[in-house]
Amino acid sequence: MAKEPVRVLVTGAAGQIGYALVPMIARGIMLGPDQPVILHMLDIPPAAEALNGVKMELVDAAFPLLKGVVATTDAVEACTGVSVAVMVGGFPRKEGMERKDVMSKNVSIYKAQASALEKYAAPNCKVLVVANPANTNALILKEFAPSIPEKNITCLTRLDHNRALGQISERLNVQVSEVKNVIIWGNHSSTQYPDVTHATIKTPEGEKPVPALVNDDAWLKGEFITTVQQRGAAIIKARKLSSALSAASSACDHIRDWVLGTAEGTWVSMGVYSDGSYNVPAGLIYSFPVTCSGGEWKIVQGLSIDEFSRGKLDATAAELAEEKALAYSCLS
């Protein structure tokens, strides 16, 4: 029997990530090839005409799984009945800007949209915040939507995770699909800690540890980390626009694994509400290694953290605590 369609909200749908993301969702890349969807697209009035153009193209593309499109500038209409909400709308970072510069523009958007989601989304709606500062926008959304369970509010660090997989794959000249269990700890910012301590490569002789195969501690603790940390800025420099196709693809990966589950023995990185695991202060949205099953994520426990990693985990937590304070000061 055909499945009931799932309503998926994309905010900022007339923007460049939105333009890359909505066809992926309509093709089943996010929720699976047998899951019909109804797309809810929200943008602001100045973008209404462009949003309508995206809707026209969705019709023209004749996606078999796409059972309806709501294109609106009304947050209530956009949020009504959605089971998945991908929050892309916001003010993007431009060349030379730090995330903190865009904080005040974005936290007030997320406070307002929290209320609309809380009142009108389907119960148990899963929320993914993409717009920067992603962790702190998600935290604001959580704080101002107290009836949405905190486990349902996440932010995107899967793009950083995928970037780390990509860098290791290039360095070792192996397929990216053979690399697994990198970790992004902390903030989706230049203080994030891309960690390969527990990462492995699949080989015909079994799984082998990435640190031993790379065999270059200086690169792993230096250029590898900074390349992943700075990749967003490098894309902006090259394209004069922030990443879009890779962000959209990673957002699909994040929701797909959350809803449909991670593969046995594999974890992914998600920005989730900290419960104090790994001595990360509770009350921050922080990127951890997680496994997903039955629509729920769980932080991977018991990984060893050496002194180098400890310093990196703490530094990115400190930045998030600072961002949280700054966000609250923008709201007051």
Active site residues: 188
Pairing mode of beta strands 6-11, 153-155: unpaired
CB of 225 to ligand NAD, least distance (A): 17
Please identify, using beta-carbon distances, which residue of 235 and 260 lies nearer to ligand LMR: 235
Cα 311 to Cα 61, 73, 186, 269, 276: the distances in Å are 49, 44, 12, 19, 16
**AA letter at 280:** V
**What's the chain's length in residues?**
332
Packing angle of the helix pair 103-120, 134-143 (nearest 10 deg): 40
28 part of the interface to ligand NAD, by CB under 6 A = no
98 phi/psi in degrees, rounded to 5: -90, 160
- By CB under 6 A, what part of segment 176-205 binds ligand NAD? 188
Please identify, using beta-carbon distances, which residue of 172 and 235 lies nearer to ligand LMR: 235
Pair of tokens at residue 42: 């929200």
Please identify, using beta-carbon distances, which residue of 13 and 201 lies nearer to ligand NAD: 13
Please identify, using beta-carbon distances, which residue of 98 and 216 lies nearer to ligand NAD: 98
Pair of tokens at residue 283: 């009350």
Beta bridge partners of 200: 180, 209
- What is the contact surface with ligand LMR in residues (CB under 6 A)? 93, 132, 159, 232-233, 235, 242-243
Question: 248: which residues sit within 8 A by CB, 6+ positions away?
Answer: 17, 20, 21, 24
CB 22 within 8 A of CB 88: no
Structure letter (DSSP) for residue 289: E
- By CB under 6 A, what part of segment 229-288 binds ligand NAD? 242-244, 247
114 part of the interface to ligand NAD, by CB under 6 A = no
80 part of the interface to ligand NAD, by CB under 6 A = no
Nearest residue relative to ligand LMR (C-beta)? 232
Angle at 265 between CA 263 and CA 268, to 5 degrees: 65
Task: Name the segment binding ligand NAD (CB under 6 A); options: 38-46, 142-150, 173-181, 291-299.
Answer: 38-46
Q: Which does 168 bind (CB under 5 to 8 A by kind): ligand NAD, ligand LMR, none?
A: none
CB of 123 to ligand NAD, least distance (A): 23
Show binding-site residues for NAD(+): 12-18, 43, 106, 130-132
Query: Which residues contribute to the site for ligand NAD (CB under 6 A)?
Result: 11-12, 14-18, 42-44, 47, 88-90, 92-93, 109, 130-132, 134, 156, 159, 188, 242-244, 247
- Binding-site residues, in ranges, read 12-18, 43, 93, 99, 106, 130-132, 163
